[in-house]
Amino acid sequence: MALSFEILKKLGKSRTGKIVTKRGVIETPNFMPVGSKGAVKGISVPLLEEAGAQIILCNTFHLYLRPSSKTIEKLGGIHKFIGWEKPILTDSGGFQAFSLAPLKKITEEGIKFSSPIDGQKINLTPELAIKIQEELGVDIAMVLDHLSPGNSSKKEQEYAVKRTTRWALRCKKALKNKDISIFGIVQGGVFENLRELSAKELIDIGFDGYAAGGFCVGEEKESFRKTASFTAELLPEDKPKYLMGVGKPLDLVEGVLWGYDLFDCVLPTRNARNGQLFTSKGKITIKRAEFKEDFSSLDDQCNCYTCKNLSKGYLNHLFRVKDPTYIILATIHNITFYLNLMKEIRNAIQNGTLEDIYMKIKENYQEN
């Protein structure tokens, strides 16, 4: 097994732990900044490390299309290619093929689609998804799963669950590199009995960790909460539990309360670019006129470069004149905020004060 997982402290369903890989330790619960195409948008590797990132997520679909996994392999693998020496997890590309590719067709063999870049016909099979991740040389690979929209019928979701199991088995058989760990992905939409079936079948196959996928794809928020919480309890206690594509600050705290260990989301980077900044007192839309002559720091509870050295007025100015420096400074802060929140959560589990964090985030981010 390429990774080990140890639980250090439990508080209800929440837990702190550590995932040990050959490229470093990931303290859990943890948030993975998203660098789909080989870079976390708006922030360099040294700044990511300064913010406290211990693992990042890259994407099989995007890197296979450009520059190609074979090119990255020739250039020394994904870690050398992007200059990041710590662990990397890669999404299998199933979600992107499902959501981005035109003219897609899902068959038992795989996901057939036309490249959105040059129209090339591609058949993303479970075997190809694993081959790409092996060529990249990642630390944690995800199986290729069949994602069905959140509003799909129970029959459609059951079909997706069964195919996800068959594809997961093919992925595990295809993985030859023993230095790479592999996670299974539980599907089933908002149907608890299907989530139960998916989890059982994946556990029977046996993986290094387990993810809850197929959320935030059109289902109601309360259905997400209910089903994501239920799914966490289905997963083995001695393995990392990963809630995919989530989320907002309140989602992260709730996810930890449900028992999840890993999270990823594009919100901190995307929202930074769009002018929305996360702070200890809630969200700020920095382009608003009220900040034009505001000389206070963005967040007096934050220790990032932006908050220690610059004012809201300066960030407001940079955003308004469309200076790319704004994106760097805003992304530094949002990523730091997310990683600091996870650190606070880990400390709160150790100290028995997680409920305090939950109430504070709920008060400041109650629109979630």
What sign results for the dihedral spanned by CA atoms 159, 165, 167, 170? negative
Distance CA 242, CA 320 (A): 38
Q: Over pLDDT 70: what percentage of the chain? A: 98
Band of pLDDT at residue 93, cut at 50, 70 and 90? confident
DSSP 39: S
pLDDT at 238: 98
CATH of 4-265, one of 1.20.120.350, 3.40.50.80, 3.20.20.105, 1.10.1040.10: 3.20.20.105
How many contiguous H segments (helices) and E segments (strands) does the chain have? 15, 16
Q: Where are the domains of the chain?
A: 4-265, 272-363
Residue 367, pLDDT > 70, answer: no
Q: Kindly tell me the burial class for residue 60, based on how many C-beta atoms sit within 10 Å of its own C-beta (0-12, 13-18, 19 or more).
A: buried
Summarize the confidence of residues 252-270 as an average pLDDT. 98
Distance CA 85, CA 196 (A): 37
State the amino acid at position 33 in one-letter form: P
Summarize the confidence of residues 197-219 as an average pLDDT. 93
pLDDT digits (tens, 9 = 90+) for 42-76: 999 999 999 999 999 999 999 999 999 999 999 99
pLDDT at 368: 46
pLDDT digits (tens, 9 = 90+) for 270-298: 999 999 999 999 999 999 999 999 999 99
pLDDT at 103: 64
Report residue 206 as tokens: 């046996």
Residue 96, pLDDT > 90, answer: no
pLDDT digits (tens, 9 = 90+) for 324-361: 999 999 999 999 999 999 999 999 999 999 999 999 99
Model confidence, pTM: 0.97
Annotated catalytic residues are 91, 264
pLDDT digits (tens, 9 = 90+) for 106-119: 899 999 888 888 88
